[in-house]
Amino acid sequence: MAPAPADSTVLQIRSSDDVVLIRQQVRARAAEAGLGLVDQTKIITAASELARNTLDYGGGGTMAMTMVNDGLRRGIRLVFDDKGPGIADIQQALRDGYTTGNGLGLGLGGAKRLCNEFAIESTVGVGTRITIARWK
Amino acid sequence: MDRIPILKLGRALLVTIQVDMHDRLATALEDDLTNQIVKHGAHGVLIDISALEIVDSFIGRTLDTIAAVSRVLDAETVVVGMRPAVAITLVELGLSLAGVKTALNVERGMALLRQRDDQPEQEDGASAG
């Protein structure tokens, strides 16, 4: 998997305190990107879900945060990486209510609904990368 | 470890969440509230989340669990003060908080609990007709 772009901020995800820290950092960046209150709330909530997944299922990892600009609009892109067991069946993992842990099974599907862009790359035994973006 | 304070207000308990809740804090609140309900024989629990900027599935599940445990202990839980952006996000996330009563603010939440206290026996009676 390619390394994160040079202008991104990389945060560690190793404990539930890091999940809180990620929410705060994403909030600051999303506000900076000019996202409205509802959009900010959506991307922060999605980040919280994915950071917790990285912690609970991936055994910890990182989140890289980048401001994006396609010429017309600005936004924020978040990349979650872990070196955990990977996801064997992505379609199944995205289904609401499906969980291999003790959560509600809303994390992945829910996070997808809260974002404008959502992509999963996962290799069993190697790790998982989830990329999300929210545009203004 | 820090904890969220629980205030006694008549026959109800009032919890105002003023910090960004990390997971252990949410779990501690669940335990503390359960103990306080029994200790005070509380009939209601009001949880004010107006300071919360997000509610994710973990916090949502904690609120659901608190409501379920309270019910078993004969106390009603009302979550009050949810921000509009949080409500929109929560529904899109897929959480409906079906087991939790909600009210716009603390005042209305208290009114809801008082209503229940005024007519404690009529709720499960045969009301059809």
Which of the four pLDDT bands, split at 50, 70 and 90, describes residue A48? very high
Closest chain A residue to B21, measured at CA = A20
Domain A9-135, CATH: 3.30.565.10
A114–B61 CB contact, under 8 Å: no
Closest chain B residue to A42, measured at CA = B89
Which of the four pLDDT bands, split at 50, 70 and 90, describes residue B129? very low
**Per-residue model confidence as pLDDT tens digits over B108-121:** 999 999 988 776 55
How far is the C-alpha of A44 from the C-alpha of B59, rounded, in Å?
A: 14
Q: How far is B60 from chain A (nearest CA, A)?
A: 10
| Average confidence (pLDDT) over B73-100 | 93
Share of chain B above pLDDT 70, in %: 91
| Average confidence (pLDDT) over B24-49 | 95
Mean pLDDT check: name the lowest of A65-74, B19-28, B42-51. B19-28
- How far the first Cα of chain A sits from its last, in Å, is 28
DSSP letter (8 states) at residue A2: P
State which of A33-47, A89-103, B104-118 shows the largest mean pLDDT: A33-47
How far is the C-alpha of B47 from the C-alpha of B105, rounded, in Å?
A: 10
Q: Which CATH architecture has domain B6-118?
A: 2-Layer Sandwich (3.30)
Residues of A with a Cβ under 8 Å from any B Cβ are 16-17, 19-20, 23-24, 27, 37-38, 40-42, 44-45, 48-49, 52, 96, 103-104, 106-107, 109-111, 113-114
**Per-residue model confidence as pLDDT tens digits over A95-119:** 877 777 666 666 788 999 999 999 9
For residue B24, pLDDT over 80 is answered with yes
pLDDT, mean over chain B:
89
Domain range annotation of chain B: 6-118
How far is the C-alpha of B11 from the C-alpha of B41, rounded, in Å?
A: 8
| Average confidence (pLDDT) over A127-133 | 96
Domain range annotation of chain A: 9-135
pLDDT, mean over chain A:
90
Which residue in the set A17, A52, A109 is minimally distant from B58, CB to CB? A52
